[in-house]
Every structure is written in C-alpha cells, then in structure tokens.
Chains A and B, each alone.
Chain A
Amino acid sequence: MLLNQFLILGALLFSVGVYGVLARRNGVMVLMSIELMLNAVNINLVVFGVQHGVVSGQVFALFVIAVAAAEVGVGLAIVLLLYRNRTSIDVEDFDLMRG
C-alpha cells in the first residue's frame, strides 16, 4: 500500500502545523496549527496500524482525538481569559515575565 505517501502527507501536515505554531501571532490560529500537528500524528498512527495489521494504531488515534478536543477546550478558555484581561490575543504581546 501507499505507506510512504501517507507518511509524507503526515510529515507535511506536521511541518505546516509547526510553522503555524511558531509563526502565527493570533492565539486561535496557533491552536489550530496544533490541531494540524496532532492530526498529522493521527494519520501516521492509523497508517502504521494498518501496515502492521493491528488495531492499536487506530485506538491510539482515537485517544489522541479525544484528548485533543479537551486540550483545545482548555486552550480556548485560556485565550479567552487573556482577551478579557488584556484585550488582545496576539501571543507576541504576552511578555510580562522574562529573564
């Protein structure tokens, strides 16, 4: 089967996600990018699972999806909190603490 293609897709998605996390300033966009990374992982897991002919891959993927949802929930909450206090969701702005 097309293992490599899937893996390459996963790698690309992951890279895009990484780029987004590191480059986008909008907090929400950062969260989205993280989702991208996680989904890249999911693709890998599923593909490998099929490759090896075991289900653990899919199971793992399901766990990841579930957890990702929870994470994003928390993430959005925090961003919201920040927006309330600082009326900004630009991650570059938050550097009260440094050094």
Chain B
Amino acid sequence: MDVLLAFTRPSLDWHALAPELTLLAVGTLITLVDIIWDDRSKRAMPTLAGMGLLATLIPILTLAVDGTERSMFGGAYVVDDFSLVLKALFLISGYVVVLMSVDYIRDGDYYENEYYTLMLTSLLGMVMMSSSRDLISVFVALELLSIPAYMLAAWRKGGSRSNEAGLKYYLMGVFASAVMLYGMSLVYGLTGSTNFDTIAQELGSGPSNSIAILGILFVLIGFAFKVSAVPFHTWAPDTYEGAPTPVTAFLAVASKAAGMVALIQLVFVAFLGRDDVVQPFFWLISALTMTVGNLIALRQTNIVRLLAYSGIAQGGFMLVPFAVAADAPARAIEAVVIYLAIYAFMNLGAFTVVLAVARKTRSGEIDSYAGLFQYAPGLAVAMTIFLAALAGIPPAGGWFAKFGLFRALLDAGGGWAAALGVIVAVNTVIAFAYYARVLMQMWFQPAAEGDEQPIVVTGAIGAALTVTLLATMAFGVLPGLVGHFGEVSVLSALGG
C-alpha cells in the first residue's frame, strides 16, 4: 500500500501544455462572456472562437521552432513534431469549421455561445489526443472530443432529424467506447501497464494468446468506429445527414482525423509487435471500407449523404497504410498524415460549397445543383476542384494523398500489398463515378426552372473557401509542402 502514499507531484512543462491551456482559457472565456453580456455578446462569439483558435497556433509554432521533444507524466503525454503537426491541423480545420458555422448558426435559432464552447472543447480533446501515449490519456482525450460532438450533432433542437442524428451518434459512440474499454482492460491486464511503450514491449515479447488478440481487436474496433470504417460505419451517414452541416464537416474531418491519430499511436507504437493481428485486420477493414463506401455512394441522391459515404470511402483509403504498418512503418505513417492533411482541406472545401449552395437552394438533393456552372461559375469551379481532389486527379491536391498510399504499399511490396493497391485503383474509378454525377449536374444540366439568380457568398464562407481552395491547389502543385510535414511527423512518431 505504500505505493499509494508515495505520491510525488509530476513536473509540469507549461510551455508544452500552452496550446491546451490556451484553448481551455478561450473556451471558458466564451462562457464567461456569455454569462455576463449574454445576448449582446452573440456577434462577437465566432470572432472570439476563431481568434482563440489562431492564438492557440502561436504556442504550437514556438514549440515547433523550439523543436525539443517534451514528455510528461511518465511518457503518457508527449509533445513532439508529430503531435504538433496534427494539433496544427486540428486547429486550422477547426478554424475553417468556425468560419463555416458563422452564418449558419446565426441564421437558425441556435445557442451560439455554447456551440462554440463545445466545439473548442472537442478540439481540445483532439489536441490532447495527438499527444497521448497512454491508454488512460487516449481514453480521456477520446471522450473529451466525443461528448461535445454528441451534443453538437443534435444541435438543431427542433429538428427531429438532428435529434435522431445525435441519438444514433451517441448510442453507437458510447457502445463502441465500451467495447474499446473492455479491450483496453484486457490489454492492461496482460501487460500491467497503460503506457504504450511498455505495452509494446510486453505484447511484442509475450506469447500470442487469444486474450491479447481479443484486447487488441476490441481497442482497434473502438477507433475503427470513430473513423467510421465498415462495418462500424453505420452511424456516419445518418448522423452526417441529420446534423447541422458545419457540424457534419467537423465530424467528417476533425473527429475522423482524431480517430486516425489515435490509431497511428496505437498501431505504430503500442501494437507494432503484433503485426500478425494488425496487418490482416486493417487489410480487411480498409478493403471493405473503400469498396462498400464507394458502392453505396453510387446510389445516393442527397449531397450530404453522398459526401458522408465518400468520406467513409476516403477513411478506407486512409486505413490502407495500416495494412503495411509493420512492413513499411515510416512510409505508412507519412502516407496517413499526408492523407489526413490533404483530406481535411478538400473535404472541408466541399462541405463549404454545399453550405453556400444550400443557402440559396435550401435543398440537399444533388439535382438542386443543376446549372450551377451557369449562375455561379465560381462555386462550380471550386466544387469541381474539390471533387477532383477527392477523386485524386492532378493537379488538385488529392492525387498526392493517393500517391502516398501506393507508395507505402509498394515500399512494403509483396502480393497482398499489390492486391490492395489494385483494389485502391479500382475504387478510385468507382469513386469518380459518383463525383461525376455532381459535376454533370453542375456543368451539363440547365438550371432548375431557369432560376439563374447568383448565389450570395458571405464573407466568412468566402474566407473558408479561399483557405481550402488555396491549400488544395497548393498541395496538388507543390506537394512538397505537405510532404514535409509528413516526413517530420514520421521521425518523431517512430522515435517515440
């Protein structure tokens, strides 16, 4: 029992924690402001949130410049280049989502302040996730990013669809996390530690017993749910469709990214020793996810739902490198990180256009995009670029992400990898088939009942579009930018 008494205060590296603290502060600030000048403060909220997010980037930059790897709580919480890159990614995408939300939240009758508070909280969870190297911290970070998301999904209080979205997301979420926890408990039981490095040693050396396999699988499944991998994807389409569009974007990009980050740390740090379980699992899951997602997407008539399924398929693409996690770790991590970065921008961009168009057409049906090129060529071209990027057609960004996958696969080599590569190739083709349906509506069809009045693009949405568009094209033409981040993140992640 002396163990319990021997409590020594852990040393806190405030610089390392600066980003999280900043976020926390801003979140609290928003609540305070709301409490003090409730209604009069409404206008300021989005700005405040946005500013907060940008402010959070500052300590990240300083940390990046500083460059030393900082580890706390006995290696449970690590700040290295990998985590910094991803924190930055979360924050930027969060910022874009805020930009998207401004008008949407303002026009509908929603609680604004809470909305932003919750979003910041969720982002805080993500930011923590990218640093967690311990079962406990991972779990906490996960719940911290999920619970606000459940509420955001149900944010349109009046709309039963939104409620339903929230319910489904919530129930499936907690169920999955329960399963994951069970798995964690088993892993913990086998290794006697919650620290990834220790787990890695124990599992790697330990004999292959079914408990370990069960544990690993359950843990992975918990996160496979988060990244909406088939067959754990079922919540995604419904939730995406029901939730407010900015929230959908948030879920589709940020929370999926968070799941991926967790998977990276688990697979490449904790479970790397058990590639006999990990690789086949992800081979199967990724193949299933790509194919099923794409196939179902072919039949969608609602743009958001279409993007939901396309998002599922994209998730499948992102899972591909995990299938060669042990054979080519560096390339695999690089591929995933690069894919995440590019995916974040192109998908957010697509959602932004959806948002902008919906402001006029008030409809989510693909048919409502007819003749977009005639009356809103700018939006049409932007959408074209985003979809092209998603389909992986140069010079829009996506191609480099796909290229990363192939690169990882072929670096690993071998028949299975090649087979997966071919599956990816086929899926690329299927994917374009439904992106093309949107393109056709926009370009080839006349506008519905000749209604050709142009679309008003508000400042915020315009800003969001600009950011995403520039990023997408830049990644396409000069992939070196994003490639660099991938590289730095690899070194540290494997180093740790």
Contact = CB atoms under 8 A, between A and B. Distances in A.
B188 A78 contact: no
Interface in A42-68: 44-45, 47-49, 51-57, 59-60, 63-64, 67
B101 interface: no
Interface in A1-42: 7, 10, 14, 17, 21, 27, 30, 34, 37-38, 40-41
Main secondary structure of the interface of A (DSSP, over half): helix
Contact of A30 (B171, B188, B194, B299): B171
B124 interface: no
Contact of B136 (A37, A41, A60, A82): A60
Contact of B185 (A41, A96, A98): A41
Given A38-B181, A81-B157, A74 B147 contact: yes
A94 B163 CA distance: 9
B161 interface: yes
Contacts of B179: 37
Nearest to B211: A7
Nearest to B238: A97
B170 interface: yes
Contact of A91 (B154, B158, B167, B237): B167
Given A21-B175, A86-B160, A78 B135 contact: no
Interface of A: 7, 10, 14, 17, 21, 27, 30, 34, 37-38, 40-41, 44-45, 47-49, 51-57, 59-60, 63-64, 67, 70-71, 74-75, 77-79, 81-82, 85-86, 91, 94-99
Interface string B190-218: 00111000000000000000000000000
B164 interface: yes
Given A56-B193, A70-B147, A82 B178 contact: no
Given A81-B157, A97-B164, A97-B165, 7 more contacts: A10-B185, A34-B178, A45-B188, A52-B193, A64-B181, A71-B143, A85-B163
Interface string B225-238: 00000000000011
Contact of B163 (A60, A64, A67, A78): A78
Contacts of B161: 96-97
A41 B182 contact: yes
Nearest to A98: B238
A22 to B, nearest CB: 9
A17 B178 contact: yes
A98 B302 CA distance: 12
B20 interface: no
Interface of B: 3-4, 135-136, 139-140, 143, 147, 150-151, 154, 157-158, 160-161, 163-168, 170-171, 174-175, 178-179, 181-182, 184-186, 188-189, 192-194, 237-238, 241-242, 299
A78 B164 CA distance: 9
A51 B189 contact: yes
What are the 5 tightest A-B residue pairs by CB atom distance, in nearest-first order?
A: A52-B192, A44-B185, A48-B189, A37-B178, A97-B238
Contacts of A98: 238
Given A37-B178, A44-B182, A56-B188, A63 B140 contact: yes
B167 A78 contact: yes
Contacts, number: 123
Contacts of A38: 178, 181
Nearest to B148: A74
A59 B184 CA distance: 14
A34 B160 contact: no
Per DSSP, are chain B's interface residues mostly helix, strand or loop, or mixed? helix
A13 to B, nearest CB: 10
Contacts of A34: 171, 174-175, 178
A67 B84 CA distance: 26
B237 A97 contact: yes
Given A70-B147, A71-B147, A60 B135 contact: yes
A83 to B, nearest CB: 10
B75 to A, nearest CB: 13
B193 to A, nearest CB: 7
A74 B179 CA distance: 19
A95 B151 CA distance: 19
B163 A81 contact: yes
A49 B182 CA distance: 14
A96 B166 CA distance: 13
Contacts of B151: 74, 77-78
B182 A37 contact: yes
Contact of A71 (B140, B174, B192): B174
A67 B143 contact: yes
17 contacts: A17-B178, A34-B175, A37-B179, A41-B184, A44-B185, A44-B188, A45-B185, A45-B188, A53-B3, A55-B3, A56-B188, A70-B143, A74-B170, A78-B150, A78-B163, A91-B167, A96-B161
Contact of B139 (A14, A63, A91): A63
Contacts of A27: 167
A85 B3 contact: no
Nearest to B186: A44
Nearest to A81: B163
Contacts of A75: 170-171, 174
Contacts of B168: 94
Contacts of B181: 37-38, 41, 64
Given A63-B139, A81-B154, A86 B163 contact: yes
